[in-house]
Structure 1
Amino acid sequence: MDKSMIKTVLIKECYNIFTNRRNFHLNGEVFDAVSVAEDDTWRRIRSVLSPSFTSGRLKEVEPSLHLSLSISTNVKDMTTYFLFTGYVGIMKQHSSTLLSGMKKQADKDQTIEVKEFFGPYSMDVVTSTAFSVDIDSLNNPSDPFVSNVKKMLKFDLFNPLFLLVALFPFTGPIMEKMKFSFFPTAVTDFFYASLAKIKSGRETGNSTNRVDFLQLMIDSQKGSDTKTGEEQTKGLTDHEILSQAMIFIFAGYETSSSTMSFLAYNLATNPHVMTKLQEEIDTVFPNKVTPTP
């Protein structure tokens, strides 16, 4: 709870001390994602991504909404990023679809598996806000985006490959050279092909003009030398852009859907807390008024 210590770890000493996480080296095509990159590569990628969440960028993302916002330059959380840039409308749209789907299930007196609703909802919000792509997975539960990310999340602690690398770390680089990976090749191939198609559409001008997370990464290439095999100091390579986009989908889907599932469970099992929450919501937003940033 020491704010000064938190600031020291996350900001002051972040770049020169707290750089590398434990790396099992079996990341496959996601080897250059910000979550697994190391040392100078990590610093370069993070230096490109961080400015995307400053107040200037926040106001730039959705200028058509004419929101008058006073946002601290310390706002870097992705949830806050989308909330304060007019993406409330997008979330409201998908939230309405979510509630409609759950209501239909409830009207049939069937048990609701909330993760099966919150998962597609998270996917729809992430793809809509980050890449301006509406896949509507809530109404298409077999959507390949959702089915593939589920395959990616199937992780077994007793997986022989994981146990081998965890118990004998020196085998990690060897397994990496042999093209072993924790992530199924078919899954990573699907996401990289899909994201490459979206990125290609941006570059040819056949897509939305909205400035989103993907566009900010593409803009980082302008005026920068991003040729592979050479020292890079600024923009991201094409592959790095796709890797950050993929990790964004992966992280946004699982964390959001799991958090909402746990929240729903705890509210359902503690009705007095749910009643208190409803009362607070009605006080802050009387007469079902639309929430504002």
Structure 2
Amino acid sequence: MPLLYVPLFLITLVYFLYRHFTNKLDYWRKKNIAGPHPIPFFGNLKESALRKLPVGLLYKKFYEDFPEEKIVGIYLMKTPAILIRDLEIAKHVLIKDFDMFADRGIKFGEKDMGANLFHADGDTWRVLRSRFTPLFTSGKLKNMLHLIDERAEKFVEYVDLITKDNTEHEVHSLVQKYTQATIAACAFGLDMDTYGQLADTLKRIDKKIFTVNSSSILDMLYPGILKKMGGSKFPKEVKEFFFDLTKIIISQRQGKPTERNDFMDLILALRQKEIQCRTKNDDNLILDMNDSVISAQSFVFYAAGYETSASTMGFLLYQLALNQDIQDKVIEELDAVLKKYNGDLSLEAISELTYMGKVFDETLRMYPIIDKLKRCAQMDYRVPETDLTIKKGQIVIVPVHGIHFDEKYYPNPEVFDPERFSTENVAKRHSCAYMPFGLGPRHCIGMRFAIVQSRVCLAKLLSRFRVARSSNTKSFCEFSPTRLVLYPEGGIKLNFVRRS
């Protein structure tokens, strides 16, 4: 007799699951907000959830599908969210009304590295930002320059060695060796040449950090669940690796800064002071700089400086190989600057590589490594010049990739043209039309470091080599749907040709 109830039970279960995953999917229709049609469970993210398309390219598609709309209503799985198309509204969210959108809405346990500068929200973020901003001044960067220069020189020597027998190499994984060594030196004071197993360990850790996992889907289905459950967006191995590494280095330095002037020295100097932040209620918020908090900052500094810079340099070299005339101009400028400064790549010399700067900016326009910005409303917010009120807790998406390919701001966006970033052309564009490092108070704090890190390597490499297409170089670069940042699917193969 009980077996007769099994079909009824299954039907009832399916019905309630269907209602559970569809009960909000008419949210934007009721508000008369245009947007792509959602489907049960996935909302508008089916291609991304099934690892068929990077989520940033999916947002770009939504941006392009509704050219007449200022805002687009989308569904992150079953959760209603806003995608912004209008740059003035984006400016309000990212800059003018920042206090109402200060959080990213990526919540997970602080003990699981959630208290890092990228993911932290609220007062924790404000404390961290105020204390870490002075760590990225020109003076601090100048003190680290010798570490960057030394790693760039060793990298070019390595390229010289491996290209003697074979000129063709996959450029992204090649440049990763440089950024990995640079970040290891600048963040932890580690020399990759003397830590034989460290490079292999970091490579494994890198894959876990930048590969899309199920925690992101779970958080979109049930916002805030990771924090409530004490979960993390990253595997246990990642947390343990950075915690153990940080603890070892702090112990080796006896908890005090040395004379290396690297990131760990700077953060240990901060640890000697009490970190405070004045809240709106005039209460003192104290964030203890314990080993867990320090390891969280070490993690995000490493993650941000390793993969993003490697991808940017890889895409830049790819475009130079495709556009030899642009490469000629980069090399001509580089040779002149190196001659002027007797081969010394000081910060002053790097700042004079203005055409290389335009090439760098155009690369990040075409390949914005962080191709979407995410903010969470801290209170109900009436969107300027619309009838829409964004509800407290709702997610707002700024589709960077879509904006960077909008013909209103960049005619013929598929063409690689560094002159888009001449002083005259930049002045003509909206201030929010270019945002590879974000905008407003939550812009990338390590932007200056990333620029110097990249230019030093590119300058040394292009002073000795040219890059050219090989028989395996693709005319069009596809992107991996399994990575958290923009990443070339299958890699990019180029020839490295010694300059005479």
TM-score by length of 2: 0.45
Whether 1:268 aligns to 2:351 is: no
Q: Equivalent residue for 2:151?
A: 94
Deviations 1:45-70 (A, max 9, x none): 11111232346xx2xx5xxxxxxxxx
Q: Equivalent residue for 1:75?
A: none
**Take 2:156 and 2:345, find their aligned partners in 1: how far apart are those partners?**
17
Distance 1:48 1:135, change over 3 A: same
**Take 2:152 and 2:310, find their aligned partners in 1: how far apart are those partners?**
13
Distance 1:232 1:201, change over 3 A: farther
**Take 2:332 and 2:294, find their aligned partners in 1: how far apart are those partners?**
44
Whether 1:50 aligns to 2:133 is: yes
The 8 Å contact of residues 105 and 111 in structure 1, kept in 2 or not, is answered as no
As a proportion of its length, which structure holds more helix? Answer: 1
> What secondary structure sits across from 1:112 in the alignment?
strand
The 8 Å contact of residues 132 and 208 in structure 1, kept in 2 or not, is answered as no
Q: Equivalent residue for 1:143?
A: 200
**Take 1:252 and 1:202, find their aligned partners in 2: how far apart are those partners?**
23
Distance 1:139 1:283, change over 3 A: farther
Whether 1:247 aligns to 2:300 is: yes
Distance 1:204 1:44, change over 3 A: closer
**Take 2:176 and 2:262, find their aligned partners in 1: how far apart are those partners?**
22
Distance 1:7 1:102, change over 3 A: farther
The 8 Å contact of residues 48 and 234 in structure 1, kept in 2 or not, is answered as no
Identical positions, percent: 26
Whether 1:32 aligns to 2:115 is: yes
Deviations 1:185-204 (A, max 9, x none): 11221121111111222225
Computing the radius of gyration from Cα coordinates, the structure with the larger value is 2
**Take 1:220 and 1:204, find their aligned partners in 2: how far apart are those partners?**
11
Map 1:53-132 → 2, pairs under 5 A:
53-54=136-137, 58=139, 61=140, 82=141, 85-109=142-166, 111-132=168-189
The 8 Å contact of residues 9 and 18 in structure 1, kept in 2 or not, is answered as yes
Distance 1:126 1:274, change over 3 A: same
Instruction: List 4+ stretches of structure 1 deviating above 6 A.
Output: 5-8, 137-141
Aligned length: 252
What is the CA RMSD across the aligned residues, in angstroms?
A: 3.4
Distance 1:130 1:177, change over 3 A: same
As a proportion of its length, which structure holds more strand? Answer: 2
**Take 1:97 and 1:141, find their aligned partners in 2: how far apart are those partners?**
17
Map 1:215-234 → 2, pairs under 5 A:
215-224=265-274, 232-233=285-286
**Take 2:320 and 2:110, find their aligned partners in 1: how far apart are those partners?**
37
Which is worse superposed, 114-123 or 87-96? Answer: 87-96
User: Could you tell me how far 1:13 is from its partner in structure 2?
Assistant: 6.3
> What secondary structure sits across from 2:163 in the alignment?
helix
Give structure 2 stretches of 5+ with no counterpart. Answer: 1-86, 277-283, 348-500
Distance 1:88 1:6, change over 3 A: farther
> What secondary structure sits across from 2:166 in the alignment?
coil
> What secondary structure sits across from 1:240 in the alignment?
helix
User: Could you tell me how far 1:24 is from its partner in structure 2?
Assistant: 4.8
**Take 2:190 and 2:172, find their aligned partners in 1: how far apart are those partners?**
22
Deviations 1:104-139 (A, max 9, x none): 222222531112221121121112123322223998
Distance 1:118 1:139, change over 3 A: farther
Distance 1:263 1:152, change over 3 A: same
TM-score by length of 1: 0.73
Map 1:189-204 → 2, pairs under 5 A:
189-203=240-254
The 8 Å contact of residues 113 and 296 in structure 2, kept in 1 or not, is answered as yes
Deviations 1:242-290 (A, max 9, x none): 1111110011101111111111111111111111111111222228622
Distance 1:181 1:41, change over 3 A: closer
Distance 1:27 1:118, change over 3 A: farther
Give structure 1 stretches of 5+ with no counterpart. Answer: 62-81
